[in-house]
């Protein structure tokens, strides 16, 4: 495998309620929440959740869109579609995630098999939505 110097650092998701979104990602998806207390007390603009040691999802409130002035038109990015975000898990993590989502009555797709991803074909995968309609894929690869 090629050792690239670029790595995925974060993905920003527009959400209607960042605290509720952080709770969903912690309770249903199993991700560690970050900066929720600081968001609640107003000292940071948004909370995040940690995917792994080098990757987070930022949970930006849609109300923040008018302050996106880093590029012309960036303020109109709220609501722009992202097809989906994919989480690669171990087989146990995959099964646990699906069980937590089903316990919370979060609709999940049927299992896919051998869909191509960053590490080749995945053994199994499925899709689900977060409460704001963002689409996620969960998958696992053969160990080894």
Q: What is the tens place of the pLDDT at every residue in 79-89?
A: 776 778 999 99
- Tens digit of pLDDT for each residue in 3-29? 557 788 899 999 999 999 999 999 999
pTM for this model (two decimals): 0.84
Q: Which two tokens stand for residue 7?
A: 């790595």
Query: pLDDT digit string (tens) for 45-101?
Result: 999 999 999 999 999 999 988 888 877 887 778 777 677 899 999 999 999 999 999
pLDDT at 55: 94
Q: What secondary structure does DSSP assign to 79-141, as a single string?
A: T-----EEEEE-HHHHHHHHHHHHHTT--BPPPEES-EETTEE-SEEEEEE-TT--EEEEEE-
Q: Which residues of 23-54 are buried (b: 16+ CB within 10 A; e: fewer)?
A: bbbeebbebebbbbeebeeeeeebbbbebeee
Question: Coil, helix or strand for 74?
Answer: helix
Higher pLDDT, 32 or 70: 32
Q: Which residue has the higher pLDDT, 79 or 118?
A: 118
Nearest to 35 by CA among 21, 49, 24, 25: 49
- Given a contact cutoff of 8 angstroms between Cβ atoms, the answer to whether 115 and 142 are in contact is no
Q: What are the residues facing 138 on neighbouring strands?
A: 87, 126
Q: Report how far residue 61's alpha carbon sits from residue 17's, in angstroms, rounded to the nearest whole number.
A: 6
The answer, yes or no, to whether residue 2 has pLDDT greater than 70, is: no
**Cα dihedral sign for 114, 115, 118, 120?**
positive
Which pLDDT score is estimated for 71? 77
């Amino acid at each position: 495998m090629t050792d690239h110097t670029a790595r995925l650092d974060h993905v920003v998701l527009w959400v209607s309620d960042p605290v509720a979104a952080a709770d969903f990602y912690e309770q249903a998806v199993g991700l560690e929440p970050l900066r929720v207390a600081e968001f609640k007390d107003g000292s940071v603009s948004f909370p995040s959740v940690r995917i792994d040691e080098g990757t987070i999802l930022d949970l930006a409130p849609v109300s923040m869109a008018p302050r996106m002035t880093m590029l012309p038109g960036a303020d109109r990015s709220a609501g722009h579609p992202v097809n989906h975000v994919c989480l690669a898990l171990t087989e146990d993590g995959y099964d646990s995630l699906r069980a937590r989502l089903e316990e919370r009555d979060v609709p999940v797709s049927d299992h896919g098999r051998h869909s191509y991803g960053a590490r080749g074909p995945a053994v199994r995968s499925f899709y689900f939505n977060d409460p704001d309609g963002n689409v996620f894929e969960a998958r696992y690869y053969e160990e080894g």
